Amino acid sequence: MSNRFKPKFNIKKGDAVVVIAGDDKDASKPRKVLEVYPDISKVLVEGVNIITKHTKPSAQNTKGGIIKKEAPIHISNIMLWDAKKGEKTKIKRSRETGKLVRISKKSGEAIK
């Protein structure tokens, strides 16, 4: 994907988000974003979309076996968590002193 048409997302690594769709849907429990993949519009969220992966024995893992790990979910299935209001929120962007700042639409606070 070229940089010219690269999408911009309001979610960043380390943000608190809630899952609003899917098997792990829980709009009252904030979770942490571990990784953002803008090329495929997906996000890796802590404790969400757990998959089981079967691994062969290797030099690092001599036993092999079944490993449980998180898989990415689509970015449209999550919303940012507003800590001040204690609920999910949408984001608007504005420039303050030359920098783009993400602002919560519910509380009006800047998100760090």
Give pLDDT tens digits for 56-100: 999 998 999 999 999 999 999 999 999 999 999 999 999 988 999
> What pLDDT is attached to residue 10?
92
Q: Give the domains, in start order, of the chain with CATH numbers.
A: 3-82 (2.30.30.30)
Percent of the chain with pLDDT over 70: 98
First to last CA, the chain: 28
Contact 77, 19 (CB under 8 A): yes
pLDDT at position 1 over 70: no
